[in-house]
């Protein structure tokens, strides 16, 4: 060290620059290669931290953590399956980005999403859990030009559903390995071979919570409903008119801000997928103010209870 300090300034600068270059190169290489994990896993994704905390506390076996692009991935065993857990973050962009990141760095065989949502079907109540059989993106739209009191759409998109004012839902295009050309698609299916049947078995194995730890109780006993459509978009919906439009147009039971994006990524990568969504509010359909803050933790707990039952129902 003494000899280095006595060296000419130009030499010290050169050596320091070389050391920094080697250090940065090593960091970039580590980031590029990611974790050396060869165990086939189910990834269980949470949109909110409360769900992830519950799932992490249930991990067994060797638990490891990895950081990629600022996202923490936790591996371990959950209900008899090797899993990798992580937080998607809120929004369709965050969800798509983090799921693709996980697929690029871990040997993932199935994708399970755990989260809260807004209820759209008027037959549903806060606390109910919905496991949809397909997901669409209601905010993949054209904002149409107003012409003579009506709307004029551009001709180069498909419009499979009626509009809400100037908003005309459209299909998106998706390309998968082996496809000769992009495929226009509105709905992205969940896995009907294994995960949806497992969800039906799980629905018979769970008792959902009705009251919060603070003693605030739901008017109705929560239920688990398997099947029917779900939709997602990059907007928090707390509007009665739009809620009614979504139900009438798509026959959707539930809407959120992530599940359809993950369904799109899973479809593109040909990885089996399912989402478990517990209703924390009614997307503007309830009387009074939005109740999400009141029942967020109850809904998150119900979602994770169903996810763990779902994992138990999947053959090891």
pLDDT of residue 240: 92
Q: Are 112 and 195 in contact (CB under 8 A)?
A: yes
Radius of gyration of the chain (CA): 23
pLDDT of residue 28: 43
pLDDT of residue 157: 86
Q: Extract the residue ranges of the chain whose pLDDT is less than 70.
A: 1-34, 286-295
Region label for 243, one of left (φ > 0), alpha (ψ between -120 and 50) or beta (otherwise): alpha
pLDDT of residue 287: 66
pLDDT of residue 10: 57
Which of 82, 116, 92, 88 shows the shortest CA–CA distance to 102?
88
pLDDT of residue 69: 92
Bridge-based pairing state of the strands 150-152 and 145-147: antiparallel
């Amino acid at each position: 060290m003494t000899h280095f300090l006595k060296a000419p300034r130009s030499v010290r600068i050169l050596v320091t620059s070389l050391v920094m270059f080697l250090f940065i190169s090593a960091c970039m290489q580590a980031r590029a290669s990611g974790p050396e994990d060869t165990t086939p896993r189910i990834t269980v994704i949470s949109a909110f931290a409360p769900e992830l905390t519950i799932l992490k506390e249930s991990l067994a076996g060797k638990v490891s953590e990895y950081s990629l692009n600022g996202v923490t991935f936790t591996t371990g065993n959950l209900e008899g399956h090797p899993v990798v857990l992580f937080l998607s973050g809120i929004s369709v962009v965050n969800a798509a980005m983090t799921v693709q990141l996980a697929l690029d760095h871990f040997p993932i065989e199935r994708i399970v999403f755990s989260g809260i949502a807004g209820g759209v079907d008027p037959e549903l109540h806060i606390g109910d859990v919905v496991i949809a059989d397909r997901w669409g993106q209601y905010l993949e739209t054209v904002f149409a030009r107003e012409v003579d009191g009506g709307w004029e759409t551009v001709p180069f998109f498909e419009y499979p559903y009626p509009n809400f004012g100037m908003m005309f839902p459209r299909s998106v295009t998706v390309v998968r390995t082996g496809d000769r050309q992009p495929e226009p698609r509105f709905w992205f299916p969940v896995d009907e071979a294994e995960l949806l049947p497992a969800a039906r078995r799980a629905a018979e194995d769970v008792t959902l919570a009705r009251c919060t730890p603070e003693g605030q109780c739901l008017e109705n006993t929560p239920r688990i409903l398997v099947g029917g459509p779900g939709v997602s978009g990059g907007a928090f919906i707390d509007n009665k008119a739009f809620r009614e439009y979504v139900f009438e147009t798509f026959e959707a039971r539930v809407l959120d801000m992530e599940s359809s994006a993950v369904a799109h990524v899973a479809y593109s990568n040909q990885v089996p997928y399912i989402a478990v969504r517990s209703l924390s509010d009614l997307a503007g359909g309830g009387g009074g103010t939005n109740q999400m803050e009141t029942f967020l933790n109850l809904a998150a707990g119900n979602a994770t209870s169903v996810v763990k039952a779902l994992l138990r129902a999947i053959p090891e």
